[in-house]
Amino acid sequence: MKNVVALLIAAPGSLRRTEAEVLSAARRLADGLGGRVTAVILGAADESWTADAAAYGAERVARVEHAALGSYQAELAVEAARQACLALQAEVCFVPSSTYGLELAPVLAQKLGAAVVADVTAAAGDAATGAVKITKPVYGGKANSELIARQAPLVLAMRSRAVAPVEKKAGAAAEVMKLDVQLDAALAKSTIVERKTEAAGGARLEDARIIVSGGRGLGGREGFALLEELAGLLGGSVGASRAACDQGWVPASWQIGQTGKKVAPELYLAVGISGASQHLVGIGGAKHIVAVNKDEKAPIFQAAEAGVVEDFKTFIPALIQAVKKHKAAEGK
Amino acid sequence: MHLVVCLKQILDPELPPGEFRVDAQKKEAVRGSASLVISVFDENALETALQLRDAAGQGKITALCVGPESAVDALRRALSLRVDEAIRIREEEFPALDGFGTARLLAAAVRKLEPADLVFCGREAGDWHGAMVGGLLAGELQRPFVSLVAGAQRAGEKYALRRQTDEGWETVECAAPAVVSVTNDDANQPRIPKVKDNMMAFRRQIPAWGAAELGVAAASLAGPNAALEFASLYVPKSERQCQVLGGENAEEKAAQMAKKLAEIQVL
Ligand SMILES: Cc1cc2nc3c(=O)[nH]c(=O)nc-3n(C[C@H](O)[C@H](O)[C@H](O)COP(=O)(O)OP(=O)(O)OC[C@H]3O[C@@H](n4cnc5c(N)ncnc54)[C@H](O)[C@@H]3O)c2cc1C
User: Which of A 122-141 lie inside 8 A of B, CB atoms?
Assistant: 133-134, 136-140
Whether A147 has its CB under 8 Å from any CB of chain B: the answer is yes
d(CA A293, CA A313): 11
pLDDT value of position A332: 67
- The predicted pLDDT at position A256 comes to 98
For the purposes of burial, counting CB atoms within 10 Å of the CB of A297, is it exposed (0-12), middle (13-18) or buried (19 or more)? exposed
- Mean pLDDT (chain B) is 96
Whether residue A153 sits in one domain with residue A7 = yes
Region A257-276: mean pLDDT is 97
**pLDDT (average), residues A167-185:** 96
Tell me the H-state helices in chain B.
Answer: 40-56, 72-80, 99-113, 133-141, 195-203, 211-214, 250-263
CB contact under 8 A, A115 and B225: yes
Chain A residues lying within 8 Å of B17, measured CB to CB: 142, 277, 299, 302
Provide the number of structural domains found in chain A.
2
Do A41 and A179 reside in the same domain of the chain? Answer: yes
Q: What is the mean pLDDT of residues A240-264?
A: 96
> Which residues of chain B from 121 to 140 reach within 8 Å of chain A, CB to CB?
123-124, 126-136, 138-140
Q: Write down the pLDDT at residue B167.
A: 86
B81 to chain A, minimum CA–CA distance in Å? 20
Contact B178, B49 (CB under 8 A): no
Answer yes or no: is A203 within a domain: no
Average pLDDT for A274-303: 96
Burial class of residue A51, CB neighbours in 10 A (0-12, 13-18, 19+): middle
pLDDT at A201 over 90: no
Mark which of A137, A172, A187 sits at the end of a domain.
Answer: A187
Quickly state the pLDDT bin for A131 (edges 50, 70, 90): very high
Would you say B5 and B52 are in contact if contact means Cβ atoms under 8 Å apart? no
> What are the chain B neighbours of A120 within 8 Å (beta carbons)?
none
- The boundaries of the domain holding residue A287 are 210-329
Whether the pLDDT of residue A203 is over 90: the answer is no
- In this structure, the answer to whether residues A37 and A150 fall within a common structural domain is yes
Q: What predicted TM-score, i.e. pTM, was given to this entire model?
A: 0.95
Interface check B185 vs A, CB under 8 A: yes
In A, which residues are within 8 Å of B265 by CB distance?
266
Give the CA distances from residue A263 to residues A142, A271, A291, B214, in Å, rounded to whole numbers and listed in that order: 19, 16, 16, 44
Average pLDDT over residues A59-87: 96
Q: Specify whether A182 is located in the same domain as A248.
A: no
Give the nearest ligand 1 atom to A273 CA.
25
DSSP category for residue B253: H
CA of B29 from ligand 1 middle (Å) equals 22
Name the closest residue on chain A to residue B176, using Cα atoms: A189
A128: number of Cβ within 10 Å? 8
Q: Please give the distance, rounded to the nearest whole angstrom, from the Cα atom of residue A215 to the centre of ligand 1.
A: 6
Among chain A residues, the shortest Cα distance to B190 is held by A246
| Preferred mutation among B149, B162, B253 to probe A, highest tally of A CBs within 10 A | B253
- Residue A129: CATH number of its domain: 3.40.50.620
Nearest to A192 among B140, B172, B183 (CB): B172
Which residues on A lie below 8 Å from B187 (Cβ)? Answer: 248
| Chosen domain end from A126, A155, A187 | A187
User: What CA–CA distance (Å, rounded) separates B145 from A73?
Assistant: 11
The secondary structure of chain A in percent helix, strand, coil, rounded to multiples of 5, reads: 35, 30, 35
Q: Which residues line ligand 1 (CB under 6 A)?
A: A 140, 215-217, 241-244, 255-260, 272-274, 276, 278-279, 282, 293-295, 298, 311-313; B 13-14, 40, 126
Tell me whether residues B258 and A147 touch, CB distance under 8 A: no
A-facing residues of B in 70-89 (CB < 8 A) are: none
Which of B48, B31, B216, B260 is CA-nearest to residue A289?
A: B260
Residue A268 CA, distance from chain mean position: 17
Full DSSP string of A61-125? EEEE--GGGSS--HHHHHHHHHHHHHHTT-SEEEE-SSHHHHHHHHHHHHHHT-EEEEEESEEEE
**pLDDT at res. B239:** 73
Q: How far is the CA of A277 from the centre of ligand 1 (A)?
A: 9
Q: What is the CA radius of gyration of chain B?
A: 22
Q: How far apart are CA A170 and CA B134, in angstroms?
A: 40
Q: Please identify, by atom number, the ligand 1 atom nearest to the C-alpha of residue A216.
A: 26
Same domain, A168 and A221: no
Residue A117 pLDDT: 98
Asked if residue A116 is part of any domain, the answer here is yes
In a domain, A196, yes or no: no
Regarding whether A11 and A153 lie in a shared domain, the answer is yes
- Residue A26 inside a domain? The answer is yes
Quick one: pLDDT at residue A202? 77
Residue A319 CB coordination number (10 Å): 30
For residues A157 and A26, state if they share a domain: yes
Of all protein residues, whose CA lies closest to atom 37 belonging to ligand 1? Answer: A217
- Residues of B within 8 A of A321 (CB-CB) are 251, 254
CA of A212 to the centre of ligand 1 (A): 15
Which top CATH class is B2-227?
Answer: alpha beta
pLDDT band at A304 (very low <50, low <70, confident <90, very high): very high
Which residue ranges make up each domain of chain B? Answer: 2-227, 237-267
The domain that holds A306 is classified in CATH as: 3.40.50.1220
* Probe target for ligand 1 pocket from A256, A278, A289, A316, with the most ligand atoms within 8 Å of CB: A278
Residue A331 has pLDDT above 90, yes or no: no
Instruction: State pLDDT tens for residues B51-74.
Output: 999 999 999 999 999 999 999 999
Stretches where chain B sits below pLDDT 70 are: none
**pLDDT tens-place string over residues A45-61:** 999 999 999 999 999 99
Ligand 1 atom closest to Cα of residue A274 = 49
Q: Which of B22, B100, B186 sits opposite A246 (nearest CB)?
A: B186
In sequence order, what are the beta bridge partners of B85?
A: B62
Provide the 10 A C-beta neighbour count for residue A242: 23
Q: A 88-107 residues with CB below 8 A of B?
A: 98-99, 102-103, 105-107
* Percentage, residues of chain A above pLDDT 70: 100
Interface with B, mutate which of A139, A192, A221, A253 (most B CBs under 10 A) = A139
Three-state secondary structure call for residue A197: strand
